[in-house]
A and B are shown apart, each in its own frame.
Chain A
């Protein structure tokens, strides 16, 4: 499960949805793995405004990942805006190292196994072989 996906997930319990403590879920006993994947700067650009930055920072701290910028990067930081690239087509703009680092963090860093714990109700969701299970037992529905 990718770090990006974790930024879009909260506790599955309806009663937790409105609680700030339920997001993000807290990883426990997480085994990380880097899985290389196709780089697409446009995707990073589009997805970045939808990432909850504080949640991302918190999650990364818990996972011991230190390469997170303290503030959400501005769109203009994602592409090289030097004179060299001025005037060329939008599609051909050169992504910056920052964009590649974000790709590596959000899309290539994955939790292969472990647990995700809700900070509100304490429920644990298991991750096995990269796939999390959010099905709830009946007394929690």
Chain B
């Protein structure tokens, strides 16, 4: 059976990837019949209405799902297709109360025009009452236009099946959240990230740059439990009444926050066993201030430091020295960590800027134990960022010498040098031609 997914017309490159992640999570066989990034309507083939409901139930970038009753490039063609495609269904809805709406995409319609369109479907011969609210069933005519073009490019008649989970975006809106920072991920994209990583009840997730908890909160919404760490102890601790934990309390998700601890991914205390179902993160990109990991710039500090005869690092308020760290080396470290700690088919969903401050594109990091599932791009005015989603392959062991160790890491002094500003742009052509990468 064919169904129509009605997407929102934002974050276009994330929409199909989110839908496919959800189909995979729910073990739903999904065939995308027609998807175009310029339009909100996407035709899919699914095995049942139940599958359609399940598929859309936690989608953020889908608005709803509908049963396709007809499609055409003109009303003549549409009516013909409705008769052929759904004639056998009409009697089932003959006596239901119903509602009939006409929706234009990139097109404003007069009421009189809408009425005329609705009347043209009178051959469906519905006898039930027309109601505006709580109808037994709802029908939609979607009239899809190219921008500023009078003639529609595509017309659909559909029966409404179910809405998505999109309404929760406002529930988790950062404006209403008590504990946030300037780098907190907005609720819409945090929820999309949790979907890409397939957060779900019973699963354990980890965010190694947890900040104020945007991702673990989104994962908790979908039922997963998370641990988080951050090199900045202040963000983990927050204030007595306003902290990571209080964010979970605000949404009555307290039980889904396991623990936060202060640590750095390059010296993580997590045991490197296959214990995580998902990793979600937005690694800090800070060329100007120089990314920091523990250590000193010049390699000094190999001796313990004493203050008043006591070990400095055991004293109250001790701040460990930090050394600059290449962003790309950090991404390699994250992939290596993910390969070692994710269960089979566990997912890593990670954000990264598309290019550095000199507009040199970053390569997409790869790892032999991780398959790239999707690469989505969020464009801004002057820059863009990507959400990369990886899946841990089964049956592949992490090699003893990983490429992380091969990359020069920490040999330079300045963050600028380390971040390979002058490095030639690496070729992503293969990814583009395979359709993995969306421009």
Beta-carbon contact of A38 and B254 below 8 Å: yes
Q: How far is the CA of A131 from the CA of B259 in the complex (A)?
A: 8
Contacts of B254 in A (CB 8 A): 37-38
The chain A residue with its CB closest to the CB of B206 is: A8
Scan B298-314; emit 1 where CB is below 8 A from any A CB, else 0: 00111111000001111
Rounded to whole Å, the gap between the CB of B27 and the closest CB of chain A is 14
User: Is B135 part of the contact surface with A, judged by Cβ < 8 Å?
Assistant: no
Rounded to whole Å, the gap between the CB of A119 and the closest CB of chain B is 14
Contacts of A50 in B (CB 8 A): 204, 273-275
Across the interface, A10 reaches (CB within 8 A) one of B203, B260, B269, B321, namely B269
Instruction: Name the interface size band of chain A.
Output: 35 or more
Task: Output the residue of B261, B273, B275, B296 with the most chain A CB within 10 A.
Answer: B261
Rounded to whole Å, the gap between the CB of B400 and the closest CB of chain A is 12
User: Is A65 part of the contact surface with B, judged by Cβ < 8 Å?
Assistant: no
Beta-carbon contact of B262 and A131 below 8 Å: yes
Beta-carbon contact of B269 and A12 below 8 Å: yes
Beta-carbon contact of B204 and A1 below 8 Å: no
Given A5-B258, A8-B271, A38-B254: A135 in contact with B201 (beta carbons within 8 A)? no
User: Is A2 part of the contact surface with B, judged by Cβ < 8 Å?
Assistant: yes
User: Is A11 part of the contact surface with B, judged by Cβ < 8 Å?
Assistant: yes
Q: How far is the CA of A108 from the CA of B258 in the complex (A)?
A: 10
Given A10-B269, A131-B236, A139-B305: A5 in contact with B227 (beta carbons within 8 A)? yes
Beta-carbon contact of A2 and B258 below 8 Å: yes
Beta-carbon contact of B262 and A132 below 8 Å: yes
Beta-carbon contact of B303 and A139 below 8 Å: yes
Contacts of B270 in A (CB 8 A): 8-10
Task: Output the residue of B262, B303, B321 with the most chain A CB within 10 A.
Answer: B262
User: Is A97 part of the contact surface with B, judged by Cβ < 8 Å?
Assistant: no
Scan A4-28; emit 1 where CB is below 8 A from any B CB, else 0: 1100111111100100000101000
Report the count of interface residues on B (CB-CB < 8 A): 47
Q: How far is the CA of A40 from the CA of B202 in the complex (A)?
A: 7
Given A131-B260, A138-B301: A43 in contact with B202 (beta carbons within 8 A)? yes
Scan A114-141; emit 1 where CB is below 8 A from any B CB, else 0: 0000000000110001111111111111
User: Is B225 part of the contact surface with A, judged by Cβ < 8 Å?
Assistant: yes
The chain B residue with its CB closest to the CB of A43 is: B202
Contacts of B272 in A (CB 8 A): 17
User: Is B294 part of the contact surface with A, judged by Cβ < 8 Å?
Assistant: yes
Contacts of B271 in A (CB 8 A): 8-10, 23
User: Is A47 part of the contact surface with B, judged by Cβ < 8 Å?
Assistant: yes
Given A9-B269, A23-B271, A131-B236: A137 in contact with B313 (beta carbons within 8 A)? yes
Q: Which of B137-192 contact A (CB under 8 A)?
A: none
Beta-carbon contact of B275 and A134 below 8 Å: no
Beta-carbon contact of A38 and B267 below 8 Å: no
User: Is A46 part of the contact surface with B, judged by Cβ < 8 Å?
Assistant: yes
User: Is A42 part of the contact surface with B, judged by Cβ < 8 Å?
Assistant: yes
Which residues does B use to contact A, with CB under 8 Å?
Answer: 201-204, 225, 227, 229, 231, 233, 236-237, 254-256, 258-264, 267-275, 277, 294-296, 300-305, 311-314, 318, 320-321
Which residues does A use to contact B, with CB under 8 Å?
Answer: 1-2, 4-5, 8-14, 17, 23, 25, 37-40, 42-43, 45-47, 50, 107, 124-125, 129-141
